Structure 1
Amino acid sequence: MESKELGTATKKNNKNFNFIDGIRCIAMITIVMEHAISLDIYHPTDKLGILIVCAWTQLIKFGTICFFLLAGFLIGEKFMVYTPAEYMKRRMGTTIGPWFFWSVVFLLTMLANDLVKAVKFSGGDFGPNYAADFMEHLRAVYLFSNFWFIPNFLICIGILLLFRKYLYSNLFGAILLLLTLFYTVNIYFEWIEPRHSVALFGFIFFLWLGAQINKNLKQFDVFMNKVPYLLIIFLLLVFFVLGTKEELYLTTVKSTDPYNTLRITNIIYSLLCFALLYKIKEIKVISFLKPRETTFGVYLIHFILVASLLPMIFVSLKFSVATLSLGELVLYQFGRFVIVYILTYLIVMGINRTKASWLVGR
């Protein structure tokens, strides 16, 4: 989800980077799809309904880890070229500005909604506890929406920069893996806030792993060419089932975040998805969506439409999601995704044609 690094592969190595466009585009589609489905208003109580929700979320739950792997792959060489200060200056210049702008837009949509409610129902009075409500809005935007990614990513990058001389150390990688596994175990025990969006040190390992793939790309390519598709697909199915079962269990025990990205089954499932997409290399239809030009913008804007536009569209239909049949529910959820993705894509492409293209990382 980075702007420049995910936007432009290194030209001199372009022949080796064909897989990047396919992975980043599919990963972003799954992230938009996950955010667009309305788990917040659909709470099935029957076993079949719960199973369907868990299976669907597990199926599309590989995007975030794939993005960290891609980011690590693309920045590995740059750590050796730029000083820490130079790299962070470039990163802040191309990423923070667009991220801050759209996060403020999202916050303003929340405040505008509060204003409308206050004027309509309370004569313009926001109430005595609005300061607390405002703080909750800040938490919602910067900790529990898509905007968590960039601060978390920059913290991960900062840590790798501090220890960059150990970037290719297996011991360092093992330490980072232990940090990730701490968050994995914490999903069950909740010693600290368990949601993956606040797992500050939970994703550094995947950046490190991506850098190792970059460094050993020829060997990795030879290895992946030897691994049969059927084996990868079989393992994917196994961990899809195990991941769904883990979500079912966490749902049963009332986990705070039963669909957490850092569940051990989902980590392995995500790595297998990355391996399969890498082995496929090029998906020609993906080029039509121009992922290099649109991925960062879609990431920045889509959640605003999910939170602000979709409620306005569907509230007028006046139906209860809980009463929908299985077929109707699938169409409803897929419709939400299609609306959000197409509108977001069109907005990003429109911005790309203006002088404000920096707002989507161009």
Structure 2
Amino acid sequence: MVAFYVNRLNDIENMKRVNIGGQAVLEGVMMKGPKSYALAVRKPNKEIEVKVTNYLSLGERYKALQIPIIRGIANFLESLYIGMKTLMDSSEMLDEEENTVSGKQDVSVKESGASNTAYLVGTLIVSLVIAVGVFMLLPAFLANFLYKVTENDLLVNLAEGILRLLIFLGYVIAISFMEDIKRTYMYHGAEHKTINCMEAGDELTVENVKKHTRFHKRCGTSFVFIVMFISIVVFMFVKTDVMWMRLVSRVVLIPVIAGISYEFIRYAGKHNNVCSNVLSAPGLWVQRLTTREPDDSMIEVAIKSVEGVIDWHEYVDHVRNNSFEL
């Protein structure tokens, strides 16, 4: 389960607060810091392999992408790309270990380069097309038939939103029965608990991490759920019973909805008040489906991933002393 991460990150070297983001992958956890992201995977031989990739976010490279709404669109696309890449990388890391154990050598790995990039982009595009088709266009297509019995746009859009939520929840519940997904949900819980532990100012030990909640306001599940709600509001302003126009509007407005939703989750992640708690509540509830309590070995992997991108000892000291730069 991919976890969306708020990516407006500040340099800890200047003692500024950092929002670490991450996601669960196959038998591991990816964590993203200010200038890099780390992928930690528990290999079949029980060892933890950590792969660190230097990476400066789009918002840091292009100031125009720090503009509200636009930064959300950029972050959404960036998160999808890094998320897909780390999922594929984790799979390759596990395959490499299995090939080594069996004495096999995969010569195709040496032929990576541009072909791997093309495959990654192709996979990402196909995944996006399927996601848009199932979660955006299918509910719009089905809800459009309500115009045969009513001309109330509000009712039709509300029905579309409810259908979208039901399809999403059905998908999350259905895949949770798969063994690999169950373990990924446990790693998802380990990711959240580790970040919560660090942000609370506790040292990253297995025992400390276990004390913290597996739910987090900045989770991708919360983002997706907010997207569902925002889409209902936005689509209320698109009044048409012409099928093709309705479907096209759903695709065209996806970036706008993603941008607005990002601002909501960014606000909720930075504040602890009634408004932010109300905004976060539905997403936190859905995280009961997309996270599980991890075992100690999974928490160890999450800690190793954090250590790949940040000096958590220094970070925890700043949290305890409230000494971050403003």
**Structures share a fold, TM > 0.5?**
no
TM-score of the two chains, using structure 1 as the length reference: 0.27
Name whichever structure is richer in helix by fraction: 1
Name whichever structure is richer in strand by fraction: 2
| Greater relative CO, 1 or 2 (CA 8 Å, sep 6+) | 1
